[in-house]
Amino acid sequence: MLEQLKELAQVAEAEIKAVGTLDELNDLRVKYLGKKGPIQEVMKNMKSLTPEARKHAGQISNEVKRTLSDAITVQKEALELAEITKQLAEETIDVTLPGKKTMRGRLHPLNAIVADIEAFFIGLGYHIAEGAEVESDRYNFELLNLPQDHPARDMQDSFYIDVHHLLRTHTSPIQVRTLEKACGQGPVKILCPGKVYRRDDDDATHSHQFMQIEGLVVDTHITMADLKGTLEALVKHLFGPEREIRMRPSFFPFTEPSVEVDVSCFACGGDGCSVCKQTGWIEILGAGMVHPNVLKMSGFDPEMYQGFAFGMGVERITMLKYGVEDIRHFYTNDLRFLEQFK
Ligand code: FA5
């Protein structure tokens, strides 16, 4: 039996030295040194031997065990070393190769303008307010002094979701929602950027989806002069310190009086050119003093509080600032266009 064990040890040692992977080596360890292996078998049969023979058999089997586990340890180290060496050779980096150029992303021009205008108004103490793009008819129209069948509803042809809900046609519903939350207590000073939707045919200056930024201030002692000063500062910030503004009478159901605001043409300085259609002025936004009905419906006392509001199209401002001739460039994701805005 002991002879058999010694022979087996020789075979096992040879197998261990020849093995090529760590998994196979582990299989051999289990096969020879495991509970069901030949050495354990010899140990089990020792009970029947004389004490002398048992001692001898014990020594031999321990020797075989040690030899095999030493052989396994040596082979394991050799295999691990070979694996690491192979891996290092495979992962060698050629530091002389030219590096891969990483493309840097940048803000979309519309988002960059929104961020710029937000930063400007935050500096003046405004809060940013947002609202849902699916709005109820009540907030989009009624509470803005546009009851059912009001002819001015045609000014903003709408996408209705059901009888009472639509994709908001302007950012003005955020005004009403914010005023309602203020529970008749001023001051309120907010800037509301967001996407809006209208059933306009897409062309070079119109899109069925576009962005607006709305501003609202409600407090005591607010006048048109505050509105004019604020918009003048905005225009100088956006288009340069030499720019002037002018206000022309207009109509919005939610402001009274209402105005359209023009900026002096930055292409010709006011002399008249193709950008300003020879007028020297470019229209940039609508504004006015918050209509007393809107204040009343939102829980504010119009005897005590006044306010001004303004709303501008982000695409229009961006087109004017950068001389973009077609609004559709903003939505087609053409990198040749987008990469020009650093
Ligand atoms: C309004 O939407 C008002 N809510 C603005 C306002 C707010 C007035 C607060 C007074 C007080 P208007 O319909 O004019 O106004 O739209 C505002 C701006 O949105 C326009 O000056 C224009 O720049 C932009 N705009 C309107 N329709 C489109 C369109 N189809 N595509 C791109 N921009 C548009």
Q: Which of 212, 231, 263, 318 to mutate to test the pocket of ligand 1 (most atoms within 8 A of CB)?
A: 212
For residues 221 and 305, give the distance between their C-alpha atoms in angstroms, rounded to a whole number. Answer: 7
State the pLDDT at residue 140. 96
Which atom, in ligand 1's list, is nearest to the CA of 200? Answer: 30
State the pLDDT at residue 52. 84
Pocket residues: Cβ below 6 A from ligand 1: 156, 170, 172, 198, 200, 206-207, 210, 212, 214, 252, 255, 285-288, 309-313, 315-316
State the pLDDT at residue 236. 94
State the pLDDT at residue 188. 97
State the pLDDT at residue 95. 86
CA of residue 76 relative to chain centroid, distance: 50
For residues 209 and 185, give the distance between their C-alpha atoms in angstroms, rounded to a whole number. Answer: 34
Beta bridge partners of 196: 210
How far, in Å, is the centroid of ligand 1 from the Cα of 185?
Answer: 28
How far, in Å, is the centroid of ligand 1 from the Cα of 188?
Answer: 22
For residues 132 and 194, give the distance between their C-alpha atoms in angstroms, rounded to a whole number. Answer: 9
State the pLDDT at residue 80. 92
How far, in Å, is the centroid of ligand 1 from the Cα of 238?
Answer: 18
State the pLDDT at residue 35. 84
| pLDDT mean by block of 10 residues, the chain; 342 residues | 80 90 90 84 78 83 88 92 90 87 90 97 97 96 90 79 94 96 94 96 92 98 97 95 94 96 86 86 94 97 97 94 92 93 84
For residues 73 and 6, give the distance between their C-alpha atoms in angstroms, rounded to a whole number. Answer: 20
Count Cβ neighbours within 10 Å for each residue of 230-243 and write b for 16 or more, e otherwise: bbeebbebbbeeeb
∠ Cα 98 101 102 (to 5°): 145
State the pLDDT at residue 268. 83
For residues 60 and 221, give the distance between their C-alpha atoms in angstroms, rounded to a whole number. Answer: 107
Q: Which of 285, 294, 318 to mutate to test the pocket of ligand 1 (most atoms within 8 A of CB)?
A: 285
Residue nearest to atom 17 of ligand 1 (CA): 312
Pairing of strands 255-264, 281-290: antiparallel
pTM of the shown model: 0.73
- Give, to the nearest 10 degrees, the angle between helix 38-45 and helix 51-90: 170
State the pLDDT at residue 211. 97
- List the alpha helices (DSSP H) in 34-135: 38-45, 51-90, 109-123
